[in-house]
């Protein structure tokens, strides 16, 4: 069937870095599936699931724990044990065998966690402010007030990011994405609601961005910066309460990201819409401040993806839920075949 939209732009290749050529502009967004085994090791079924989606220009793995202490959901995979690394090798080999590329999304949930994941100890965070509401995917549990991270904790966690980035390359990933979005640990430092510190990590934009830059400096000291991506959500209030002062933090940090030569910056939004405070969409806001490669995400359909690429608001489009529902998403778009709509009950199975 003739596609009524000119989708050529979605199928143009892109050089993410000299060692990384992407065959199209479609990125599979990171999608937590909670399907790792009880040791948080990726399974064969996960390897098959990712390999089925290798037509994407780039796959970003589900959020992956830099250490068990970063856990906040059941059965999320890690990348800190040798068993996890060797199982991830099966995943990356499967994707590479079908001509795909895959990054590992590195994750620490901070206070979006519960003492059930920490042998009864409180989770930790920049400040002692609990996430409101219930712990997802576990029955009848509410979030707890976290303990405040000490300088020692901060230094140790930076070391965990470095080790996890090295492990990811050992596991055959083409690069890593630091999960700095959606109210998890890095993002908790970047927002006034969750960061009430009065030391060098809080109280003003420069201090609030310090942890992010220390992680970036440490990771890019051991692996090439152009293999490191970063996901940010300047205006996605998942696990956090909004505060108008947050914008100044992102106004400060986004231009400074230009000096790293990163692989990309990736919008972390569920719906990438116009935000009054920013006077544009979050992706347009990132683009305004950041000159490198930008990945848009959040509710994109083929038409809006095309428009975003044509307007040069982003270079790549990440697709989340439609990729859960359609392992052959890329082929269907290319051939103008109807997509299977996403429903939440699909989360129970790795299609």
Give me the residues that bind ligand FMN (CB under 6 A), please. 29-32, 62-63, 105, 179, 181-182, 231, 268, 270, 297-300, 319-322, 347
Which residues does residue 124 pair with via DSSP β-bridges, in sequence order?
A: 147
**Between 11 and 238, whose beta carbon lies closer to ligand FMN?**
238
**Between 181 and 197, whose beta carbon lies closer to ligand FMN?**
181
Respond yes or no: is residue 184 known to be catalytic: yes
**Closest alpha carbon to 91 in 57, 41, 166, 34:** 41
The residue number with the shortest CB distance to ligand FMN is 320
Closest CB 268 distance from ligand FMN, rounded Å: 5
Axis crossing angle, helix 82-97 with helix 44-51, rounded to the nearest 10 = 30
Closest CB 62 distance from ligand FMN, rounded Å: 5
C-alpha to C-alpha distance for 36 and 42, rounded to whole angstroms: 5
Closest CB 350 distance from ligand FMN, rounded Å: 12
Closest CB 345 distance from ligand FMN, rounded Å: 12
DSSP-H helix ranges across 98-125: none
Closest CB 300 distance from ligand FMN, rounded Å: 6
Half-sphere exposure of 347 (CA within 13 A, CB side): 11
**Between 23 and 179, whose beta carbon lies closer to ligand FMN?**
179
C-alpha to C-alpha distance for 334 and 24, rounded to whole angstroms: 11
Q: 184, 285, 300, 329: which is the annotated catalytic residue?
A: 184
**Between 85 and 305, whose beta carbon lies closer to ligand FMN?**
305
**Between 43 and 207, whose beta carbon lies closer to ligand FMN?**
43
Residue 350 CB coordination number (10 Å): 16
C-alpha to C-alpha distance for 113 and 117, rounded to whole angstroms: 7
Axis crossing angle, helix 210-222 with helix 151-170, rounded to the nearest 10 = 40
Kindly list the catalytic residues. 184
């Amino acid at each position: 069937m003739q596609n009524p939209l000119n989708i050529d732009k979605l199928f143009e290749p892109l050089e993410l870095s000299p060692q990384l050529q992407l065959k199209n502009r479609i990125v599979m967004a990171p999608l937590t599936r909670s399907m790792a085994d009880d040791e948080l090791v990726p399974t064969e079924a996960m390897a098959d699931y990712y390999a089925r989606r290798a037509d994407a220009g780039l796959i970003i793995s589900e959020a992956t724990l830099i250490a068990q202490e970063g856990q906040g959901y059941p059965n999320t995979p890690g990348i800190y044990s040798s068993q996890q690394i060797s199982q991830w090798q099966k995943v990356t080999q499967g994707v590479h065998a079908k001509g795909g590329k895959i990054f590992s999304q590195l994750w620490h949930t901070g206070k979006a966690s519960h003492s059930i994941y920490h042998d009864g100890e409180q989770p930790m965070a920049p400040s002692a402010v609990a996430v409101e509401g219930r712990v997802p995917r576990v029955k009848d549990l509410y979030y707890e007030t976290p303990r405040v991270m000490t300088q020692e904790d901060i230094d140790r966690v930076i070391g965990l990011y470095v080790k996890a980035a090295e492990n990811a390359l050992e596991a055959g990933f083409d690069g890593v994405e630091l999960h700095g979005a959606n109210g998890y640990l890095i993002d908790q430092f970047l927002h006034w609601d969750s960061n009430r510190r009065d030391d060098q990590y809080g109280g003003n934009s420069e201090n609030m961005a310090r942890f992010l830059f220390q992680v970036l400096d440490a990771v890019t000291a051991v692996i090439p910066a152009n293999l490191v991506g970063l996901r940010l959500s300047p205006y996605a209030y998942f696990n956090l309460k909004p505060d108008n002062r947050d914008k100044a933090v992102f106004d400060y940090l986004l231009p400074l990201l230009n000096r790293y030569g990163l692989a990309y910056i990736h919008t972390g939004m569920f719906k990438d819409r116009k935000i009054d405070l920013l006077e544009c969409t979050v992706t347009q806001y990132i683009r305004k401040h950041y000159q490198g490669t930008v990945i848009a995400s959040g509710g994109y359909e083929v038409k809006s993806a095309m428009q975003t690429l044509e307007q040069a608001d982003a270079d790549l489009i990440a697709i989340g839920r439609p990729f859960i529902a359609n392992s052959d998403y890329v082929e269907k778009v290319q051939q103008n075949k109807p997509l299977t709509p996403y429903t939440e009950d699909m989360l129970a199975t790795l299609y």
